[in-house]
């Protein structure tokens, strides 16, 4: 069984591949720079595991997972994310995600998550278990009230794209885009574009780039 990686974070991937080589139980597969490359090369992998980091492009993690499933790619996923981008654990596990790790997770958690994914079983760290418990007790995020199209529009708005360009990209009229924008504000009780942008960032509906530092000497992924 091979372990494939989808990430633009070269230092993080180098660290994880080094750990797997030291473990000796897994074969390193392909390393894709984007989920689109994985989609195009889906015929080259089967019965394997994909390690996916937060997407560094204009869409959310859920959008990526939805796309991969829509093209028939349904292999176990280990998701590496940042704590401030951790949203909707129950939703993520519906999309073949078998483990969710934070970038500062312990190396032992990384090994355990890979072992679980290769066996088709879920793995929950203490942090993810707590997030899942809170989600069950308090319900899913308000963003679930949004339709797929509204989430697309919100992500593009948060990227600083104007209504006319959003309309062109999504093959909609500007009037329809404005209608989606108004629905977003009503459904989420937001006031103005600045609040839409802030909500999108906080709820992983638009990618944010951040410098990455990797350290293996502390027994953590980062």
Between 57 and 132, the more confident residue is 132
Q: Which domains does the chain have, with CATH numbers?
A: 2-138 (3.40.50.2300), 142-202 (1.10.10.10)
For residues 10-18, give the mean pLDDT.
92
Taking every pair of C-alpha atoms in the chain, what is the biggest distance, in angstroms? 57
Token reading at 159: 């990227």
Q: Are 34 and 80 in contact (CB under 8 A)?
A: no
CB neighbours of residue 120 within 10 Å: 11
Long-range own/partner contacts, residues 172-176 (CB < 8 A, 24 or more apart): none
For residues 195-209, give the mean pLDDT.
72
Q: Are 118 and 76 in contact (CB under 8 A)?
A: yes
Token reading at 41: 């090369």
Q: What's the pLDDT at 215?
A: 38
Q: What is the C-alpha to C-alpha distance for residues 212 and 23, in angstroms, rounded to an integer?
A: 24
Kindly report the length of the chain. 222
Between 205 and 170, the more confident residue is 170
Closest CA to 197 of 208, 187, 186: 208
Q: What's the pLDDT at 175?
A: 92
In the block, residue with structure tokens 């790790």: 101
Closest CA to 221 of 53, 55, 89: 53
pTM of the model: 0.63
Picking from 47-51, 101-105, 207-211, which range would have the lowest pLDDT averaged per residue?
207-211
Q: How confident is the model at residue 140 (pLDDT cuts 50, 70, 90)?
A: low
Q: What's the pLDDT at 48?
A: 86
Q: What's the pLDDT at 112?
A: 95
Of all residues in the chain, what percent carry a pLDDT higher than 70?
82
């Amino acid at each position: 069984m091979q372990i494939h990686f989808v990430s633009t974070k070269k230092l993080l991937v180098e660290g994880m591949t080094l750990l797997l080589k030291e473990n000796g139980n897994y074969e390193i597969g392909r390393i894709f720079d984007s989920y689109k490359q994985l989609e195009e090369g889906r015929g080259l992998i089967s019965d394997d595991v994909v390690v996916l980091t937060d997407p560094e492009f204009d869409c959310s993690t859920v959008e990526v997972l939805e796309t991969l499933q829509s093209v028939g790619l349904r292999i176990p996923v280990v998701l590496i994310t940042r704590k401030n981008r951790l949203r909707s654990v129950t939703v993520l596990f519906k999309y073949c995600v078998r483990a969710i790790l934070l970038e500062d997770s312990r190396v032992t958690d990384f090994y355990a998550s890979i072992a679980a994914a290769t066996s088709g079983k879920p793995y929950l760290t203490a942090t993810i278990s707590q997030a899942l418990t809170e989600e069950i007790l308090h319900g899913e995020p308000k963003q679930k009230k949004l339709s797929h199209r509204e989430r697309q529009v919100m992500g593009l708005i948060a990227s600083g794209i104007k209504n006319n360009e959003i309309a062109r990209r999504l093959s909609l009229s500007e009037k329809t885009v404005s209608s989606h924008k108004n629905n977003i504000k009503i459904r989420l009780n937001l006031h103005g574009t600045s609040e839409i942008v802030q909500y999108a960032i906080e709820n992983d509906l638009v990618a944010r780039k951040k410098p990455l530092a990797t350290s293996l000497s502390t027994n953590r992924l980062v």
